[in-house]
Structure 1
Amino acid sequence: MSRIGLSSDILPVGCSLCATYCWISSFITFMLNRTTLNASTSCISLTDLLKKKTLPETDFPFIYIQSCIENPIKPLVVNILCKIYAWEQRKLGAVYRNIRNAFVGTATPYYVESEEDGYFYLESNNIKEGQINRNAEVFINEAFYQGQRDKWLHTGDLVMVQSGHVGHTAVIPKELDCVAAHALIMFQNSIDNINPYFTNYQLQTLESKKKLDYITTGNTIKHILASEMKQFTVDFSATIEEQTAISNFFLTLDDAITLHKRKLDGLKELKRGYLQRMFPQAGENVPQVRFSRFTSDWERTTIGKISDIVRGASPRPIQNPKWFDKNSDVGWLRISDVTEQNGRINHLEQKISQAGQSKTRVLRTPHLLFSIAATVGKPVINYIKTGVHDGFLIFLNPKFEQEFMFQWLEMFRPQWQQYGQPGSQVNLNSELVKAQEVYLPANEEQTAIGDFFRNLDVQISVQQQKLSQLKRLKSTYLQKMFI
């Protein structure tokens, strides 16, 4: 635990009609499982401090915060030391001397294969959630790039998406100095005492998003004008020191989010790779990778021979409220639940009534299910009492290990597209599923494979929860640290 005081050369807190002074000095730690703020009678937590309209009359408003964070990230410590004045509302046109469009028009004739042949071209798909990503890259030739010289972006400039996912912003980093851009609004040549990252995070708050929605035009494709952004008002801290402290706080949080996102993506990619290598692919009767203690051949069969497959049922008309009862202990499974819980159903918001249960199939123990509508081909396991919609098949009396077949169906999921026409929705039925060939190993090997992937799924789920928690933390502080 750390106790941080203020240097003696800073004036104490005072009251004023035009400005309020206080000093906040703290170590802020992001707990992946919790954030703990400990305060004594002479201390105040950052969260409580931010709620207050009048600040405490004390020379040293200490904040005690326990400092710890789990691996794999090194301890995240952010030091905020700032003097808070009344914030000022300004139009962005008064903050940035140039607010204009980047190149708008057809650029495809100038595309080249790689950065070795030309220059990276910044587009709207590269701007998301306050950051620049290079997940999709486009490159332009020398002549076109040089022709955009008067619109090159420079370090510290701000850009905004003007069509599609409008309002997303990012700051140009040092490594993209002199980059050319397409269909973005550019905010350049800011006045002194403006931190571009402060503006970037201010535009990510709910209040700013509401104001952006108000000036957005278009129904199918949303659009926003550079001229509108000149009149757009934003609250700015009066001091560059406070702007920088707040910006650094969120930059550190964004770094943590990025690291956890990479780890999550890595785990998902690892699973995709093992799914392809631990189940036989087309033309194979054994997988490429096996546990060393197993050497027996896998047996070819069909899904219909290893399970009794029946379809769920839905009461009609489904909108009738008599089919549902919030006090029931039987949940009603819908496609949206499958998407949200990634196929492992541990809770269901909607409950089905006794009348509704008589019109559907109710499962009171875990079963393997399979979606044949909307999210086609998604395997599901219910871990609670569940009424099954007619958009699912149920595997009864299985002659396989449940987790093994759940993972096999996940691996095979893209292959169901063969039953649909290009551009049309795939339609599956029980007969198609029953006829599908599958190779099965002995039960012991099925169990080992199922356990392997279930453990991997647990790691993915834990990592997803950590990432979601960090994003929620950022969202909360965006609302509390900006006006």
Structure 2
Amino acid sequence: MTEQAKVPAIRFAGFTDPWEQRKLGELYEKNDERNTFGLGAERTLSIATMTFNSEGNGADASSLPNYKVIRVGDVAFEGHSNKSFAYGRFVVNAVADGIMSPRFSCLRPKNSYPVRFWKYYIHSEQVMRDILVRATKSGTMMNELVIDDLFKQSIAVPQEAEQQAIGYFFSHLDTLITLHQRKYDKLVVFKKSMLEKMFPKDGESVPEIRFAGFTDPWEQRKLGDVAPLQRGFDLPVNQMTPGPYPVVMSNGIGGWHSKYMVKGPGVVTGRSGTIGSLHYIEQNFWPHNTSLWVTSFNGNEPRFIYWLYASIGLERFGSGSGVPTLNRNDVHDLRVGFPCDVAEQRRIGTFFSRLDSLITLHQRKLELLQNIKKSLLDKMFV
């Protein structure tokens, strides 16, 4: 490997030395330490996620003394192949000392090292793929690590100060990603809760939560009388000519056409395949025959109708073997709570639309951070 190949594409200022080639056998030794001092099942670490399983993994208590002890900094090999890891992957214990199933191979560093760096580095498919090609063999259920072959392989290693800087950076980036993931998850749960509480439960005339100033009871109406559905229109792909109008299929906009069949705004739901997938379309559009669309809002607020349908859970009405199908007649007779005051409809529609926008914003931030991390993992490692 050339000197140039030992230098990552992106580095922190102040680090200029090439990364040094080291044999993995110089860095690690096989770990066979057994659980002879009685760590309980609650200290069992899941190798896939490197998290504790408080209930263990189902193993009998009598087998726990034979479990391997995996200490902070130790590396377990998880041999299942997937799209991201062709030959398995190494997972560093950065949590706390625990135990693991003896069927997994485990390595222990010969000297203390920056665990936060190696957590990302030795886990990297880019870094480890060629090494694992030469150091694994196919097993019955997963790839098996051949440790003697592994220890003959070389890996580029930066100075410890650079390891510390890289590990610190990715740890903080992961913390930021986790923060946005939690915000996103909380908003999704909050939205689900509000859909349950801002629409009346079966047999009730008012919702649990309501905007101030609205006190009139909601009417019970058949959904087909409020906002009836109709099957979309056939449009073969080879007849779709480029244009400004969205063609809305069961799972969303599937193309753009030069003609439209329905004037917007409109509410569309999946009819075949993606049952209950709802779409609010501002402009004129073509509802595909894999969808159902609201033919008339009957003077009601379109965005409220969208969220009314969202609160119902249309996926439960799917039927048929194979590809599920939603029959509009199955939902038209459904009686729903309905506010006659369009102002209340508008407040509810606006509230949920803004909440959805906030969820989308956090989702995009989360995806951006995840993409940044993926790119930097490629560029900051050799």
**Do both proteins adopt the same fold according to a TM-score greater than 0.5, normalized to the shorter chain?**
yes
1:463 to 332, 337, 362: 362
User: How far apart are residue 233 of structure 1 and its match?
Assistant: 5.4
Quote how far apart the aligned CAs of 1:259 are.
1.0
Letter in 2 for 1:382: I
Per the TM alignment, residue 474 of structure 1 is displaced from its structure 2 partner at its CA by 1.0
Q: Aligned pair in 2 of structure 1 residues 301, 210: CA closer, same or farther (>3 Å)?
A: farther
Distance 2:118 2:270 in 1: 45
What secondary structure sits across from 2:255 in the alignment?
Answer: coil
Which of 228, 234, 239 is the equivalent residue of 1:323?
A: 239
- Give distance in 1, aligned partners of 2:269 and 2:33: 49
Residue 339 of structure 2 is aligned to residue 407 of structure 1: no
Change (3 A) 1:277 1:383: same
2:66 corresponds to which residue? 148
Instruction: Answer yes or no: is the 8 Å Cα contact 1:201–1:247 preserved in 2.
Output: yes
Deviation at 1:402, TM superposition (A): 1.9
Aligned equivalent of 1:250:
170
Residue number among 136, 159, 163 corresponding to 2:76 in the alignment: 159
In structure 1, what is the equivalent of residue 27 of structure 2? 95
* Residues 222-253 of structure 1: CA deviation (Å, up to 9, x unaligned): 83222288279574324111111111111111
| CA 1:120–1:288: 2 relative to 1, 3 Å | farther
AA aligned to 1:148 is: N
SS in 1 for 2:261: strand
Structure-2 separation of matches of 1:349 and 1:232: 52
In 2, the alpha carbon distance for the partners of 1:222 and 1:478 equals 29
1:87 and 1:235 in contact (8 A); partners too: no
Measure, in 2, the Cα distance between the counterparts of 1:232 and 1:427.
57
Q: Which amino acid aligns with 2:246?
A: G
Structure 2 unmatched runs, 5+:
none
Q: What is the CA-CA distance between 1:410 and the residue it aligns to?
A: 2.1
The Cα of 1:207 is off from its aligned counterpart by 2.3
Amino acid at match of 1:368: V
How far apart in 2 are the matches of 1:304 and 1:363?
A: 19
Name the SS of the counterpart of 1:380 in structure 2.
strand
Specify the SS of the correspondent of 1:188.
strand
Distance 1:437 1:208 in 2: 59
State the secondary structure of the residue aligned to 1:263.
helix
CA offsets 1:184-231 (integer angstroms, 9 cap, x no match): 74442213364343333235556247658968998xx98322228827
Structure-2 change in CA distance of 1:245 and 1:272 (3 Å): same
What is the rounded CA distance, in whole Å, between the counterparts of 1:93 and 1:209 in structure 2? 15
Q: Partner letter of residue 216 of structure 2?
A: S
Identity among equivalent pairs (%): 23
Corresponding residue number in structure 1 for 2:272: 373
Q: After TM superposition, give the deviation of residue 85 of structure 1 in Å.
A: 2.2
Which structure has more RCO (C-alpha within 8 Å, separation ≥ 6)? 2
Report what 1:333 is aligned to.
Answer: 248
Query: Does the 8 Å contact 1:417/1:426 carry over to 2?
Result: no
Q: Is 1:201 paired with 2:116?
A: no
The residue identity in structure 2 corresponding to 1:407 is W
The Cα RMSD (Å) is 3.9
How far, CA to CA, are the matches of 1:248 and 1:192 in structure 2? 19
Residues 432 and 234 of structure 1: is their aligned pair in 2 closer, same or farther, counting only changes over 3 Å?
farther
Distance in 2 (alpha carbons) for counterparts of 1:295 and 1:20 = 71
8 Å Cα contact 1:102-1:185 kept in structure 2? no
Q: In the alignment, is residue 439 of structure 1 matched against residue 337 of structure 2? A: yes
Distance in 2 of aligned mates of 1:101 and 1:162: 20
Q: C-alpha distance in 1, partners of 2:223/2:381?
A: 57
Contact 1:85 1:237 in 2 (8 A): no
Distance 2:64 2:102 in 1: 17
SS in 2 for 1:447: helix
The equivalent of 1:122 in structure 2 is 45
Per-residue deviation, residues 417-446 of structure 1 (Å, max 9, x unmatched): 25548x975421121132222110122211
Q: Which residue is 1:77 aligned to?
A: none
Question: Which string of whole-angstrom CA distances, capped at 9 and with x for unpartnered residues, describes residues 6-25 of structure 1?
Answer: xxxxxxxxxxx969999xxx
